[in-house]
Amino acid sequence: MQADVTTDTPTSDTPVSESLSIVIPMYNEEDNVVPLLARVHEGLAGYAGPWELILVDDGSTDATVARLQDEARRYGSHVRVVTLQRNFGQTAAMQAGIDHARGTVVAMLDGDLQNDPVDIPRMVARLVAEDLDMVAGWRKNRQDNLWLRKVPSRIANRLIARITGVHLHDYGCSLKVFRGDVIRDVRLYGEMHRFIPAWVASLTSPARIKEMVVNHHARKFGESKYGLSRVYRVLLDLLSVYFFMRFRARPGHFFGRIGLVFGAIGGVALTWLLGVKLFLGEDIGTRPLLLVGILFVVMAVQFLTTGVLSELLTRTYFESGTTRSYTVRPPRGEQPEPGWKQP
Ligand code: UDP
Ligand code: MG
């Protein structure tokens, strides 16, 4: 699977008027709320279509929710707050936002002002002009710690690109723009948000994904929610991504292969013994090989049935369409009808 990824940054100036949903996950970002909303409105001021802003509070324990709700009231019905029951993690928060997004184009970014909303219209324009599925941000001038952040993520980017076959410079950049129908077909759970380009590429072929250089700022308020433990978590995730990409929706093939190898070894052993018994007339009842043969055949059956079960599990769990990786708290009191900010 080779994604068509180029890294040039031509800016298309054709005004686009697609409806746009901007999704932002927020976890304990109280001091970022007010400047973030201001920056989004500044950045989108010249956008030629209707847009909405979906702010997902991922179980914050500080004043984030209260401030989000104040700001939503102040700005109007195009700003919506989705409050999760507890902290479900960035991936689930993003999925919650996608599920509430109504736009034909969906943009996602972080709520800590590290991404710059002013990049969004440019990215949407490119998505529409070139009929892409996704435009990924590339923090070419990344404002993060070199050894704790930039070096590990450079290694991770290479590995992810290698394993998924989708070559991007910057998997970790949260600022991304998608065609709504495409991102709605991706179901995010666990910590899958780091591999979204790979999932998008696995949905459409050839993958229409491009990168654009975007602004990046150092975090001013609050702190990063991830420490160094992310490095090994990404590595473990990568292992399961590899498993998933190779045996996507077909875990039975993984177990099936092991089962077939065991079955073949057991089968050869037993056939050999049968030959010895029939043609040489020797007694095979006491041969250790008999035990090995039977054991391998039994294990083969076990692996094959495990494979079938895992197929059924994957299907019913993730493809039922009802599985959610989060729960939403119903809003209190009267809520305005969701609206659009008209240009
Ligand atoms: N975030 C979230 N739930 C979490 C952790 C993070 O919604 O459990 C949000 C966070 O508020 C921010 C974005 O995800 O808007 C990225 O998080 P962070 O800035 O900590 O990541 P970093 O920039 O350090 O990679
Ligand atoms: Mg950040």
Q: What is the pLDDT of residues 121-158, one digit of tens each?
A: 999 999 999 989 999 999 999 988 888 888 888 888 89
Which residue has the CA at smallest separation from atom 16 of ligand 1? 110
Contacts 24+ apart (CB under 8 A), 293-298: 293/266, 293/267, 293/269, 294/266, 294/270, 295/266, 296/262, 296/263, 296/265, 296/266, 296/269, 297/262, 297/263, 297/266, 297/267, 297/270, 298/266
Instruction: Supply the ipTM of this predicted assembly.
Output: 0.98
Q: Residue 230 CA: which ligand 1 atom is closest? A: 25
Decide: 19 and 340 in contact? Cβ < 8 Å. yes
Q: Strand pairing partners for 136?
A: 176, 211
pLDDT exceeds cutoff 80 at 53 = yes
Provide the pLDDT confidence category of residue 2 given band limits of 50, 70 and 90.
Answer: very low
Indicate if ligand 1 lies below 6 Å from the C-beta of 225: yes
pTM of the model: 0.80
Indicate if ligand 1 lies below 6 Å from the C-beta of 93: yes
Interior CA angle at 298 toward 273 and 246, to 5°? 115
SS3 at position 23: strand
Decide: 163 and 238 in contact? Cβ < 8 Å. yes
- Measured from the alpha carbon of residue 224, the closest ligand is 1
Q: Identify the CA nearest to 309 among candidates 269, 259, 252.
A: 252
Count Cβ atoms below 10 Å from residue 343 Cβ, excluding itself: 13
SS3 at position 32: helix
Least confident piece of the model among 112-126, 244-258, 314-328: 314-328
Give 97-112 pLDDT, tens digit per residue: 999 999 999 999 999 9
3-class SS shares of the chain: helix, strand, coil, % to 5: 50, 10, 40
Count Cβ atoms below 10 Å from residue 108 Cβ, excluding itself: 25
For 4, phi then psi, to 5°, come to -85, 95
Q: Residue 87 CA: which ligand 1 atom is closest? A: 8
Indicate if ligand 1 lies below 6 Å from the C-beta of 112: yes
Indicate if ligand 1 lies below 6 Å from the C-beta of 87: yes
Indicate if ligand 1 lies below 6 Å from the C-beta of 27: yes
- Residue 93 CA to ligand 1 center (angstroms) comes to 10
